[in-house]
Chain A
């Protein structure tokens, strides 16, 4: 019997919507100054413009049987979090439908709604209620929660005085005692020290295997996925690319990581491949300087991109841009630009090039890659006659930390700086 039925699910965001907050003052002045234009603008935004659209999820279908543990895996920006948010009713879908056969409890973050001024005891009740527990339920499990967290001594201390480890342990303990029909979990096992992580994993196993609860589990921790999940759904760029047994799903996920063969772009529009169809990347590969295929690098190493392209139209000048970003909604972090040709190119003058990028001043993490190829007009005037985009298909570029110091780096970049001590 299916307890979750997801049909044709899609979620569209308008890029730029989140970039800055609107001011009511500006909107009002605009309406008063030019009411017709404002009305026109409203109409236009209803006929949504495709260049500002971004489908975080598209046509996703799957069902989950009662008592099943389903893993959801995929790269950064594959749409996992969006899927969980829709399932938890935090945000509505744009298309499709979901049928849920029971109470949903979602754990998208540990310690949601914890208040620093309140004591551990008070926060257990508050957090429990926020996660959907009834007061009686919390009272019944209170001792168990406290014992699991191991912070008995400080239970009447405001949590602002807790160490971050204690805080996380208490928060997870509350969450671990949730008893909904369907439990949705996002990456929460990635917190705390390794011993506590093990304890959490054990608790999760108990909840899923012994109590037979239906669980949706998202994680980058593939070992945990392997241990807990019977079946997995693999997402890539908002679409489901695989559904089936965990072993096979992990293989499919591995293949995604290294796939670089590109189909010729016929100018069809989709989220990660768009263009005029007159110019196309045919292959993009990632190497190190010894020409060994790799997507993981240490800080300071050099990554080599090898790109081939086909020209199907006459055009002037040819440029390539490679951009790094973390998350679609927050924009590009940095871009390198190179001129491939500066003369007139005839149809059929295909070519290939190598771009070496030194990965210094970058912080450890996973970066999505965006490749752009276009002629002079497209680059300088934005005339979309000859261009091609490969977005988040190749990669991601993974930067590893090789020392403790590097692990502690925050943000995306470090700027070269120096210090003179004056006193």
Chain B
């Protein structure tokens, strides 16, 4: 085995073999985050249930009851909740990944490992919250008598993977920017708050006419949430066109985020 250290590295290079040798570190970092997250808050798991549930209730009252938001013929609580759990996975993941390099600066400045492990481990930590929140969805589906289609069940892992990749793509970009520009963490929450309104969480994609619907797909979460509703609640057929646009936009974000990250990665220890 030989390692060569040079001033310039191949920045486009993703060394999967190296990532594989660091799989245990990846496992332990994820495990640490999960453990610490549920150890520090006494209500730990309860909070993971409470947060999306209360958000759903509030949204149902204001957007469903008072604003009479259309919901494709589905009771508003289950409609909004299906969107919310995917949205929360994305937005919480984005917040955490963006801070992942800075919050781990202690390790970054002292030890070498592929830095991409940090945001990835962080996203996976959020999967625990997602899994807990998904249990409530199952409860809601029983309560309102909705059954998912077979295709819907098959697509769920794909939708989760898409959410994770979108989070990572955007998160890598903001995380790397955050190392150099420390005001990113103040800008980002504001940005995420606005983003929920251009994502079909509280409204259905059908409020945009079919001709312009693809524009929604520039936000990969639009495709994810729309397909999740169609598949899990079995209320309509899947909009493959929107899903395709979402996959393309997701790929673009991943490539841009990863490339920027790769360019600045080696200098993290110098500027962090």
Q: Are A106 and B112 in contact (CB under 8 A)?
A: yes
A100 touches B2 (CB 8 A): yes
Contact B27 A135 (CB under 8 A): yes
Which partner residue on chain A sits nearest B24 by CB separation?
Answer: A135
Task: Using known A-B contacts A25-B183, A99-B4, determine if residue A88 contacts B111 with beta carbons closer than 8 Å.
Answer: yes
Instruction: Name B6's contact: one of A18, A97, A109 (CB within 8 Å).
Output: A97
Q: List 23 A-B contacts (CB under 8 A).
A: A24-B181, A25-B187, A27-B181, A87-B5, A89-B3, A89-B5, A90-B112, A90-B269, A92-B6, A92-B8, A96-B7, A100-B2, A112-B106, A112-B111, A113-B104, A115-B32, A118-B32, A118-B36, A125-B28, A126-B28, A126-B29, A132-B113, A135-B28
- A100-B104 Cα distance, complex, nearest whole Å: 27
List of 5 A-B pairs having minimum Cβ-Cβ separation, nearest first: A24-B181, A89-B112, A129-B28, A98-B5, A21-B182
Report whether B112 and A88 are in contact in the complex, using a CB–CB cutoff of 8 Å: yes
- Complexed CA–CA distance, A27 and B182 (Å): 12
Closest to A182 in B: B3
Given A18-B271, A27-B181, A113-B111, also A129-B25 (CB < 8 A): yes
Q: Given known contacts A24-B177, A24-B183, A92-B266, is B107 in contact with A112 (CB within 8 Å)? A: yes
8 A Cβ contacts from B228-242 to A:
none
Sample of 11 further A-B pairs with CB below 8 A, known A92-B8, A99-B4: A27-B181, A91-B267, A97-B5, A101-B1, A104-B112, A112-B111, A115-B32, A118-B32, A129-B28, A135-B24, A135-B28
In the complex, whether A198 has a CB less than 8 A from a CB of chain B is no
Interface residues in B25-51 (C-beta closer than 8 Å to A): 25, 27-29, 31-32, 35-36, 39-40
- B68 contacts chain A at the CB level, 8 A cutoff: no
Q: Chain A contacts of B25 at CB under 8 A?
A: 129-130, 132
- Measured CB to CB, the residues of B under 8 A from A are 1-9, 24-25, 27-29, 31-32, 35-36, 39-40, 104, 106-113, 177, 180-184, 187, 266-267, 269-271
Q: How far is the CB of A363 from chain B (nearest CB, A)?
A: 25
* Contact status A92-B5, CB under 8 Å: yes
The size bracket of the interface on A is 35 or more
Taken together as a complex, chains A and B put the C-alpha atoms of A92 and B107 apart, in Å, by 16
Nearest CB on B from A239, distance (A): 18
Closest Cβ of chain B to A293, distance in Å, is 39
Across the interface, which residues of A come within 8 angstroms of B182, CB to CB? 21-23
A414 an interface residue at 8 Å Cβ cutoff? no
Contact call B183/A134, Cβ cutoff below 8 A: no
Q: How many angstroms between the C-alpha atoms of A98 and B7 in the bound complex?
A: 10
Provide the bound-state CA to CA distance between A124 and B109, in Å: 20
**Chain B residues near A413 (CB, 8 Å)?**
none
Chain B residue nearest to A9 (CB atoms) is B5
* A99 vs B181: C-alpha distance when bound (angstroms): 34
Q: B1 and A102: CB pair below 8 A?
A: yes
A22, B180: Cβ atoms closer than 8 Å: yes
Query: Least Cβ distance of A183 to chain B in Å?
Result: 13
B107 contacts A100, C-beta separation under 8 Å: no
Smallest CB–CB gap between B171 and chain A, Å? 16
In the complex, how many angstroms separate the beta carbon of A343 from the nearest chain B beta carbon? 47
